[in-house]
Structure 1
Amino acid sequence: MLQSALRHGLIGLLLITPAQAATTAEQRGKAFARANCARCHAIDRVSESPLKSAPALRNLHRRYPIETLGEALAEGIYTGHTDMPAFELNPDQIHDLLSYLKTLE
């Protein structure tokens, strides 16, 4: 009986873990966006961007498939205007930010 309970508990844990990991990645991605992007960009589904010329993150998927942004984030995002700082993210940050951006589609 104890083995059965342990087995069911382990199976339940294995089923829950991927969903929790995705939520955690999304939360970390949102925190990254809040810390690094929110000064200029709207980072949620409804707000206006503080800097009018900065696109809302929720609209990025209309310009670029979110999956394709990973390479640009790894190589570094450099823009032609001085208001946008250069960003170069590590693989974990890229995963987290893309996970969050996908929730805004």
Structure 2
Amino acid sequence: MRRPIFCALFLTLLLTAPSFAASTPEQRGRTYAKAHCARCHAIGRTGESSFKPAPPFRTLHLRYPIETLGEALAEGIVTGHPAMPQFELTPPQINDLLSYLKSLE
């Protein structure tokens, strides 16, 4: 009786765990962007940013070479407007987010 319940619970946890749900750098980067950036930026291939001054992620490569953003992400991006929070990413987070941004080019 307990085995089917355990199996169902285990399968649910397995399929919803972040490490399994976002297994590639691009997927982890998209997950990060969705959690931390989507409030202002359009993070997908379509759509408008909810905060007009925030550029859609799919256009960032037109403004900056994506590869050059790694250092800024590590040190903390500061923009010309006060609405953008300052933040610093870990090296794995930087790799994942840059991988996701590259996938949007």
TM-score of the two chains, using structure 2 as the length reference: 0.76
1:1-105 superposed matches below 5 A: 24-105=24-105
Tell me, which stretches of 5 or more residues in structure 2 are unaligned?
1-22
* Structure 1: unaligned runs, 5 residues or longer: 1-22
State which structure, 1 or 2, has the greater radius of gyration over its C-alpha atoms. Answer: 1
Distance 1:102 1:35 in 2: 18
Alpha-carbon distance, 1:84 to partner: 0.6
Q: Distance in 1 between matches of 2:71 and 2:82?
A: 22
TM-score by length of 1: 0.76
- 1:35-94 C-alpha deviation (Å, 9 max, x unpaired): 111000000011100011110010000011111110111111012322111011110000
CA distance in 1, matches of 2:78, 2:97: 17
Consecutive aligned runs of 4 or more in structure 1 exceeding 4 Å deviation: none
Identity %: 70
What's the RMSD between the two structures over aligned residues?
Answer: 1.0
The C-alpha deviation readout for 1:9-54, integer Å capped at 9, x for no partner, is xxxxxxxxxxxxxx61101000000011100000001110001111
Q: SS of the residue aligned with 2:82? A: coil
Separation in 2, partners of 1:77, 1:91: 14
